[in-house]
Every structure is written in structure tokens, then in C-alpha cells.
């Protein structure tokens, strides 16, 4: 009996367990998935917890419920991968050999990477990327008397890169509804040169921040935090005071990857950006937030990667050449307040552009523009996540590779990064 | 593709933001000229240590190394890096070293 091991039963790992169990012969292949606990959080839901829209119980289910029959689920702490011996070593010293391994161990916030951050942790400094962080922030916000709220991205890359923007938009919206907006100053601090990495979307989001009177501080890299004086101090000497700091600390891969000697400087696994195979080990593949790919760290990306990884894993097993098919496709709903949301759809080569999705002209969803239907799209996504995405079923009309149809490039401004690339010849003028 | 002339060197291809389009066209003279333009001033041995490490990484991996990588490699601490290349070390050092603009992960 041969064995496929999947490390991590989050979004990416669960989808892979479902896809691979369907494709691998039950007579020849055992599929084992390993995680440290049995709680699967719907991570996009964390954003809604601080504002009281969701409670944790609305966004958590047992991991085991989403794994198919014929997949062995082990709850245990893994000490390391021994890639030379093709085996997993558990913390109790026991081990389990594999023929193929999928690393789907995700990304985590690491506040200890910034000197001083832990001094004010859950006192005046909060995160919303963890269940307990989001819950603690809900209590803090409810009791917040007024002052200066700083929303801060410490270092890129982070998972769900648009979440801090959504947090800022939600904050503004909630405060307005409670007639408290004039008592609170909102500041958005980023190490990027603008509200987003790519020019067209950066301009759209920058304008929205401006309209909502949310100040933006760009190119800011935190050297340390003085929690007693409540200020962030940048490497360039700039200081940003706060009354409440909502931070996205440095994101890193699992410590287990580091113990295995397999990670880069962020503990992410060096992975081929198109085939999803480890750059170093032939029988190791990686998916989702655990990789070092320059694609977004987001559930939609894991979903698009899964289809391609399943195909490539089968090809590797059958001794065929891999298909370098992953294009960096990402698709995100961004809550913009007032029960509207923005949809963006992009890949390695094509930045988020305006247009219609998934069908040209008719949509029904507009791209890069706030709309009611996108908000309902995001709300419906929680159901889609549990019932379509995790079981590894295709989402209707949304293929793994990005489509150019329906997208509109802005009039040439000279700085276009979205030149050429796969879908350009399919471009339709809307 | 726009072209740009640095000092007395032959004109080279650059992108819209002045990053060299072709790393093989890079020379030390070009580096010195970009450093002046970017407000970095005269390049000292400490600057060159960073530039050479970045170029070695770029040749080996095809990626512009992150500030975190520079710090972890022991070549230069993050604080020193900001002192050497004030106002955006990753971007400025990459530009001076003749590499493409660092890809912001989305």
C-alpha cells in the first residue's frame, strides 16, 4: 500500500483530501491527513467578529466533517518532515512514511517578530486574524471611548491582503451608524507605497479611504512599538501614535517547516509557481498559504491551485511530465461598508481591473466597484465554502485559470503592469 | 521600452519607473548614477556589500531578496539597511543593483 500524506486540514488540505481520494485507487493508496486539532474555522469570518456580525460559533465546524470516507485523519503535533527519508516525525518520536507529501500548513501571525508588540498585546494592541484575537477585539471596540484607531500592516506578505482595508471600511461604517465617527480618528498604515500592490486597484482603494476620511500612511516599516507611550516607531524615524492599534503582525509559515529545514526566511516552502512542486524535493508538493508563491494568500487561491495540484500529483505518480498550469488566479470580495462589497479577480500577470464577472457585459457582478450584489456574494460565500469549496467541487462559471473576458484595461497611462500574458488575446472590449 | 543614459555610459533600457529592464546591461557606473538620483549619495563599501549580495541572490533564484532575507543572511541589519538606503531600501537597493522592481506579493 502506498501512502499520500497531507499536512494541514485547513482550506487547502481539506480540498486536496477530497480531490485525491476520488482520483487515487483505494486498493493501492492510503490517504492520511494530519492536523493539530479538530476545529476548522471559516477564516474570512474573522473580519466580521470584531463588529458583532458573527460569533465564533457561526464560523467553526469540526475538520473531520469535511473529510471523505477512506481518508485517515490523525490529530497530532508533527515535529518535522524528514524529506530525505520521506517520512513525517511526530512529537512523540513516532514516524509515518509517505510516497508523496502535500504541505498545506498555512500561515500564522507572529507578533513577537516586532519588538514591543507583545507588551501591549490584547491591552491596546489587537489582531483579528485569530479566533481569540477577533473576540477580544470585539469587546475592546464595544467599550472604546473614542480616540485614534490605527489599522496597521507590519510586513508583507500577509494572508488575505485586503482584510485590513475591509477592516478600515467596516470601522468607518459601524462608527457612522452609531453616530460616533466624529469622536474617532481612523489611520491606515502600510509598508506598501499605496492602499494595494497593483496600480489600478491601489488608486480605487486609495480614493475610497480618502472619501471615508481615513488617513493613509504609506511606505511605513515598523522597527518597534513603544506600548507604554502607545506609538509605532518606523525605521525611518517616523512615529505613529495610537489609542488602539489593530495590527496584522508579520505572517510566517509553520514552525514545523523551519524545524524541517525546508523554509525560506518566512518559513514558507520554496515552490514552483506553476507546477506547485517543491523546488527541492520531487515527491513533495505545496499548496495555499504555506507556499512562497507571489500569489495572494487566500482561500480562493488554494481552491484554484487544488485542481492543478491534483492533476500534477497524478502525473507525478504516473511518471508523466507536470503541467505548469497555475497562473496565480485570485478572486476576492472586499467589504466596503454600507452593505456593499467590491469584487476583484486577477492573476500573476493581470492586475485587478474594472469590468463584469463572471460574464462580460451581463455580469451580474461588477469588478473593482462597490455593489450590493457583491456584498450578498460574500455573504453567500460562507455557505459555498462549506458545501462546494471544501468538498472540492467546481464553483459554477469560475474556472481555475483566470479569464480576461469582461475585464477592461484603463486607457493606457504608461505604467501598465498588466501587459501581455496568457489571457490578453481573449480580451473583449466591454 | 524607454531608454536612459547614466553618466557617460551607453544608454540602457529601463521600465516606466527607471528600473533596468535588462540586468546584463548593468555596470558599476550606472549604479553610482542611480544612487545619486535616488538620494543615496556616494556608494560606500557597506552599500556594495548589500548590492553584491542582492545580485548573487538574484542570479541564483531569479528573485529580489526581501529585507528580512538580507537581515537574516547576516549581511546587514534592517536598521543599517534603512540608514544606507533611506526611504525604501528594498526598492532603492534593487534599482541601484540593476534588478527589476521587487514584486509586491498581493
Which of B16, B68, B82 has the CB atom closest to A415's CB atom?
B16
Q: Write out residues in chain B with pLDDT < 50, as ranges.
A: 105-106
Is B20 domain-assigned?
Answer: yes
Which of A197, A264, A415 has the CB atom closest to B104's CB atom?
A197
Q: How many structural domains are present in chain B?
A: 1
Q: Which residues of B are catalytic?
A: 105
* Average pLDDT estimate for A237-266: 97
Is A220 domain-assigned?
Answer: yes
Helix (H, G, I), strand (E, B) or coil at B89: helix
Domain with A259 in it: 2-53+60-106+254-317
Q: Do B106 and A235 touch (CB under 8 A)?
A: no
* Average pLDDT estimate for A244-266: 98
Helix (H, G, I), strand (E, B) or coil at A74: strand
DSSP designation for A73: E
The grid coordinates of residue A4 equal 499520500
Percentage of chain B surpassing pLDDT 70? 96
Q: What is the pTM of this model?
A: 0.92
Is A7 domain-assigned?
Answer: yes
* Average pLDDT estimate for A111-136: 98
| Position A49 confidence tier, pLDDT thresholds 50, 70, 90 | very high
Is A325 domain-assigned?
Answer: no
Is A323 domain-assigned?
Answer: no
Residue A269's pLDDT is 98
Residue A130 pLDDT exceeds 80? yes
Residue A55's pLDDT is 96
- Determine which helix (DSSP H) or strand (DSSP E) holds B2, and give its type and residue range: none
* Average pLDDT estimate for A40-46: 97
Q: Do B82 and A157 touch (CB under 8 A)?
A: no
Q: Which of A133-147, A160-174, A238-252, B92-106 shows the lowest per-residue confidence on average (mean pLDDT)?
A: B92-106
Query: Residues of A near B (CB-CB distance < 8 A)?
Result: 155-157, 161, 192-193, 196-198, 219, 221, 223, 235-236, 264-266, 294-297, 330, 346, 414-415
β-strands A29-35, A71-75 pairing: parallel
Q: How many structural domains are present in chain A?
A: 3
Residue A65's pLDDT is 98
Q: Which long-range contacts (CB under 8 A, 24 or more apart) does A81-86 make?
A: A81/A7, A81/A256, A81/A257, A81/A260, A81/A262, A81/A284, A82/A260, A83/A260, A83/A262, A83/A278, A83/A280, A83/A281, A83/A284, A86/A283
Q: Do B104 and A156 touch (CB under 8 A)?
A: yes
Is B105 domain-assigned?
Answer: no
Residue with cell 469535511: A66
Is B57 domain-assigned?
Answer: yes
Same domain, yes or no: A205 and A308: no
Same domain, yes or no: A300 and A218: no
**Which of A236, A251, A266 delimits the end of a domain?**
A251
Residue A412 pLDDT exceeds 70? no
Per-residue pLDDT of A279-317, as tens digits, reads 999 999 999 999 999 999 999 999 999 999 999 999 999
Cβ-based neighbour number of residue B61 at 10 Å: 13
Residue A149 pLDDT exceeds 80? yes
Residue A421's pLDDT is 38
Same domain, yes or no: A210 and A240: yes
Same domain, yes or no: A90 and A125: no
Domain with B20 in it: 3-96
| Closest CA–CA distance from residue B69 to any residue of chain A (Å) | 6
Q: Which of A155, A159, A235, A280 to mutate: most B Cβ within 10 Å?
A: A235
Is B33 domain-assigned?
Answer: yes
Contact A390, A303 (CB under 8 A): no
Percentage of chain A surpassing pLDDT 70? 96
Residue A395's pLDDT is 87
Same domain, yes or no: A153 and A237: yes
Residue A427 pLDDT exceeds 50? no
Is B102 domain-assigned?
Answer: no
Per-residue pLDDT of A183-205, as tens digits, reads 999 999 999 989 998 889 999 99
Same domain, yes or no: A229 and A285: no
N residues, chain B: 106
* Average pLDDT estimate for A217-242: 96
Is A205 domain-assigned?
Answer: yes
| Closest CA–CA distance from residue A162 to any residue of chain B (Å) | 9
Per-residue pLDDT of A336-382, as tens digits, reads 999 999 999 999 999 999 999 999 988 899 999 999 999 998 889 99
**Which of A251, A269, A302 delimits the end of a domain?**
A251
Same domain, yes or no: A113 and A247: yes
**Which of A196, A228, A251 delimits the end of a domain?**
A251
| Closest CA–CA distance from residue B78 to any residue of chain A (Å) | 8
CATH number where A307 lies: 3.50.50.60
DSSP designation for A50: G
Per-residue pLDDT of A157-175, as tens digits, reads 999 999 999 999 999 999 9
Mean per-residue pLDDT of chain A: 93
Q: Find the residue in B nearest to A351 (Cα).
A: B106
Residue B16's pLDDT is 83
Q: Helix axis angle, B89-96 relative to B28-37, nearest 10°? A: 140
Same domain, yes or no: A139 and A80: no
Same domain, yes or no: A70 and A33: yes
Same domain, yes or no: A409 and A308: no
Q: How far is CA A363 from CA A256, A360, A389, A402, in A?
A: 43, 6, 21, 15
Same domain, yes or no: A222 and A287: no
Same domain, yes or no: A87 and A160: no
Q: Do B87 and A236 touch (CB under 8 A)?
A: yes
Residue B104's pLDDT is 58
Is A22 domain-assigned?
Answer: yes
Is A322 domain-assigned?
Answer: no
Amino acid at each position: 500500500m502506498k501512502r499520500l500524506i497531507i499536512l494541514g486540514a485547513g482550506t487547502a488540505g481539506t480540498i486536496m483530501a477530497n480531490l485525491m481520494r476520488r482520483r487515487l485507487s483505494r486498493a493501492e493508496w492510503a490517504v492520511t491527513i494530519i492536523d493539530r486539532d479538530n476545529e476548522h474555522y471559516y477564516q474570512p469570518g474573522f473580519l466580521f467578529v470584531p463588529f458583532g456580525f458573527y460569533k465564533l460559533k457561526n464560523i467553526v465546524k469540526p475538520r473531520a466533517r469535511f473529510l471523505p470516507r477512506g481518508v485517515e485523519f490523525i490529530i497530532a503535533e508533527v515535529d518535522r518532515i524528514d524529506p530525505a527519508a520521506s517520512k513525517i516525525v511526530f512529537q512523540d518520536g513516532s514516524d509515518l512514511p509517505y510516497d508523496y507529501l502535500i504541505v498545506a500548513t498555512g500561515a500564522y501571525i507572529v507578533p513577537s517578530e516586532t519588538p514591543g508588540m507583545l507588551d501591549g498585546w490584547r491591552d491596546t494592541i489587537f489582531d483579528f486574524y485569530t479566533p481569540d484575537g477577533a473576540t477580544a477585539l470585539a469587546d475592546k471596540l464595544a467599550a472604546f471611548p473614542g480616540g485614534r484607531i490605527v489599522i496597521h500592516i507590519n510586513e508583507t506578505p500577509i494572508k488575505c491582503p485586503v482584510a485590513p482595508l475591509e477592516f478600515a471600511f467596516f470601522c468607518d461604517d459601524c462608527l457612522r451608524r452609531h453616530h460616533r465617527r466624529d469622536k474617532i480618528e481612523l489611520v491606515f498604515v502600510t509598508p506598501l507605497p499605496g492602499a494595494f500592490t497593483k496600480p489600478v486597484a491601489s488608486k480605487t482603494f486609495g480614493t475610497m479611504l480618502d472619501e471615508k476620511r481615513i488617513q493613509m500612511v504609506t511606505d511605513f516599516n515598523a522597527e518597534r512599538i513603544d506600548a507604554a507611550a502607545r506609538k509605532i516607531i518606523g525605521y525611518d524615524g517616523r512615529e505613529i501614535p495610537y489609542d488602539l492599534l489593530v495590527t496584522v503582525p508579520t505572517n510566517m509559515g509553520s514552525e514545523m517547516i523551519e524545524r524541517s529545514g525546508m523554509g525560506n526566511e518566512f518559513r514558507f516552502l520554496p515552490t514552483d509557481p506553476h507546477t506547485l512542486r517543491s523546488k527541492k524535493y520531487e515527491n513533495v508538493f505545496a499548496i495555499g498559504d504555506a507556499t512562497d508563491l507571489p500569489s495572494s494568500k487566500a482561500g480562493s487561491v488554494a481552491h484554484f491551485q487544488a485542481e492543478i495540484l491534483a492533476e500534477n500529483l497524478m502525473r507525478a505518480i504516473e511518471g508523466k511530465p507536470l503541467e505548469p498550469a497555475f497562473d496565480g488566479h485570485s478572486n476576492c470580495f472586499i467589504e466596503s461598508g454600507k452593505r456593499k462589497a467590491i469584487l476583484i479577480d486577477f492573476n500573476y500577470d493581470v492586475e485587478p481591473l474594472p469590468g463584469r464577472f463572471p460574464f462580460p457585459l451581463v455580469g451580474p457582478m461588477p469588478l473593482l466597484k462597490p455593489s450590493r450584489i457583491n456584498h450578498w456574494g460574500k455573504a453567500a460565500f460562507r455557505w459555498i465554502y462549506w458545501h462546494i469549496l471544501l468538498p472540492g467541487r467546481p464553483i459554477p462559471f469560475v474556472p481555475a485559470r483566470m479569464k480576461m473576458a469582461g475585464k477592461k484595461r484603463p486607457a493606457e497611462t504608461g505604467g501598465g503592469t498588466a501587459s501581455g500574458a496568457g489571457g490578453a488575446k481573449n480580451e473583449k472590449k466591454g | 521600452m524607454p531608454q536612459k543614459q547614466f553618466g557617460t555610459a551607453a544608454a540602457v533600457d529601463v521600465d516606466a519607473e527607471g528600473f533596468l529592464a535588462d540586468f546584463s546591461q548593468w555596470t558599476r557606473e550606472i549604479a553610482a548614477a542611480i544612487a545619486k538620483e535616488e538620494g543615496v549619495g556616494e556608494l560606500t563599501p557597506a552599500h556594495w556589500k548589500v548590492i553584491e549580495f542582492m545580485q548573487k541572490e538574484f542570479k541564483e533564484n531569479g528573485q529580489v531578496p526581501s529585507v528580512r532575507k538580507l537581515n537574516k543572511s547576516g549581511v546587514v541589519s534592517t536598521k543599517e539597511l534603512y540608514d544606507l538606503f533611506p526611504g525604501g531600501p528594498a526598492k532603492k537597493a534593487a534599482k541601484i543593483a540593476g534588478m527589476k522592481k521587487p514584486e509586491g506579493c498581493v
